[in-house]
Structure 1
């Protein structure tokens, strides 16, 4: 997970330099989806297609289409357009409000519950409020400049690109408004990502083939992004890729962020669970802040630091609340199952429930049953 977060940190640095050099975010995302499709296709074929009978119905294809629209196209376009107008540190920090936004969206659909009488329920609500407050603070309050010494590690090309971009923004005026606009777009990308979580969770109940669905999703997003990019970026020269920062950035985000990171996260979720994965999210912010200061000479302001701290506190409150609710649910079910086992009536229920969990590929369900069985 440290390697995954380091890879995601580069997602905010390298593309930022490419965007400041004049590369269009629409072009960047279109190429990213193509590279991600090519990178994931072999894993989908050898790990899932050849080992099982995969039946993809029209309903599944429609669900994957909605997932690609929100989880890849809208999410990534909003994020990279926002990154163009804001700093890598702010973009990375605002990404940590994702659990809170997911919680807000999931409540009306009764995927999540709000029990204000319990401490975990209060923690989730308080964490959500912290995340939203921290994001608003980072978006609309800059504060005083934090004076830190310059680093001796400067990427000269990136430094020149950033200087030109800063000068152009200063001449055009309204740089503060652009940063606010960029931050709001990043928040919008989190909303699209949260919607994708809801859609993906619903689809995984009836069709469990993560590599296959990810490959098809990236392929569909490639078509969507090329259509959008073709309408907006009509100059053929803007689509040219040479041996430069543009090629490096699309290869990086396609292979590392959409290929390498997805595979590692899938493996870690299987071994340690989704909670373990989410606990490492703030590490990306720290790595981005260090790289931004060392390589891009990024300036830190009081508003950014305070907002980041508030968001991280909120993130861990939401995660703690979710984990505590899960443990309480497992404990209650375990007590009930233990009572049935003592009466000699529980063995058949466990044997019947395990295949159901396997058939719908519900990791949480399976985990609960195994924990109950241990009790």
Structure 2
């Protein structure tokens, strides 16, 4: 019984969070590659929300979950709306930052999420701070290191650590890997946009924790979240991109990116985050973000031909 409880309380959530990081990195690489082929990230964001809503409508029907919120839980609706508004704003900042930077930069700066989440959890009294505790000291040191490391990779121009992979260079023209690289100014702007993104995500984790305390129904809450996100994103994205020809996905890579993120990437990660926050809290979920940097470095080098630098290139 003890082993079964340990598996449910620690092993299963930990495995799920690592799987989320893997799926997120794969999605980031697809989005980066598709945006280099001209995919509009406003269009991409709107499509992902629509597909996410359909996925969770099907899940709610399959698992026979209620598709109405309790009438007496008006603060719940407000929190879900704020959460999705932050999520939509964060996605726009993220995709623009990814377009100007790289998947590796995005994953490296994701180390800010545990730092921001810990600070916000302390501020909202969701995390106790005992300065004599080794656990608290480790969290404080980790927070400082995460913030310092993020700005190093944005601002410090360091030496090349890993060159572009030989097979990647030989399989295409000598300049092809560089289509995924950005100018120095774009790299810094992209990095700062990613910092804003991860601050918004950290706020989102705190709000998710409050939502789960009010109404612990992950599928139902996520369905309404995606539905509200669709209602927010479609008018805004149509206003920013009124040219309907831009809404046609002209490349197969763009179609794959939208389908992957809408049907699997965003939907899977949203549900797993909601479930893990309900089970273990926001700081636990945020602590797994650093694993994405290792995954991103390897995948970006293999699939994008991206050279790896200490700091920015």
Q: TM tier, shorter chain?
A: 0.7 to 0.9
Bigger CA drift: 140-149 or 81-90? 140-149
Matched, 1:143 2:158: yes
Paired position in structure 2 for 1:39: 55
For residue 167 of structure 2, give the secondary structure of its aligned residue in structure 1.
Answer: coil
Query: 2:134 pairs with 105, 108, 119, which one?
Result: 119
Query: Do 1:82 and 1:183's aligned partners in 2 also have CA atoms closer than 8 Å?
Result: yes
Structure 1 segments unaligned to the other structure (5+ residues): 170-174, 306-375
User: Normalising by the residue count of structure 2, what TM-score does the alignment of the two structures yield?
Assistant: 0.83
Matched, 1:110 2:125: yes
> 1:115 offset after TM fit, Å?
2.4
Structure 2 segments unaligned to the other structure (5+ residues): 1-14
Query: Do 2:114 and 2:289's aligned partners in 1 also have CA atoms closer than 8 Å?
Result: no
Alignment CA distance shift 1:164-1:292 (3 Å): closer
Query: Do 1:33 and 1:221's aligned partners in 2 also have CA atoms closer than 8 Å?
Result: yes
> 1:264 offset after TM fit, Å?
5.2
In structure 2, what is the Cα distance between the partners aligned to 1:301 and 1:251?
31
Paired position in structure 2 for 1:101: 116
Query: Do 1:21 and 1:161's aligned partners in 2 also have CA atoms closer than 8 Å?
Result: no
Matched, 1:250 2:258: yes
Paired position in structure 2 for 1:290: 298
Query: 1:239 pairs with 231, 242, 247, which one?
Result: 247
Query: Do 1:88 and 1:292's aligned partners in 2 also have CA atoms closer than 8 Å?
Result: yes
Matched, 1:8 2:16: no
Query: Do 1:4 and 1:264's aligned partners in 2 also have CA atoms closer than 8 Å?
Result: yes
Paired position in structure 1 for 2:74: 58
Q: CA deviation digits over 1:74-130, x for unaligned, max 9?
A: 121111111010011010111122011011223232222332232222222111101
In structure 2, what is the Cα distance between the partners aligned to 1:143 and 1:178?
17
Matched, 1:90 2:105: yes
Query: Do 2:21 and 2:291's aligned partners in 1 also have CA atoms closer than 8 Å?
Result: yes
> 1:261 offset after TM fit, Å?
3.8
In structure 2, what is the Cα distance between the partners aligned to 1:201 and 1:268?
10
In structure 2, what is the Cα distance between the partners aligned to 1:124 and 1:272?
16
In structure 1, what is the Cα distance between the partners aligned to 2:59 and 2:308?
41
Q: CA deviation digits over 1:179-220, x for unaligned, max 9?
A: 111011111111111111122222222212111111111111
Paired position in structure 2 for 1:328: none
Paired position in structure 1 for 2:185: 177
Paired position in structure 1 for 2:93: 78
Matched, 1:22 2:38: yes
In structure 1, what is the Cα distance between the partners aligned to 2:166 and 2:304?
10
Aligned pairs for 1:354-373 within 5 A? none
> 1:66 offset after TM fit, Å?
0.8
Aligned length: 296
In structure 1, what is the Cα distance between the partners aligned to 2:225 and 2:195?
22
Matched, 1:281 2:289: yes
In structure 1, what is the Cα distance between the partners aligned to 2:309 and 2:65?
50
For residue 66 of structure 1, give the secondary structure of its aligned residue in structure 2.
Answer: helix
Alignment CA distance shift 1:98-1:16 (3 Å): same
Alignment CA distance shift 1:55-1:156 (3 Å): farther
In structure 2, what is the Cα distance between the partners aligned to 1:190 and 1:280?
14
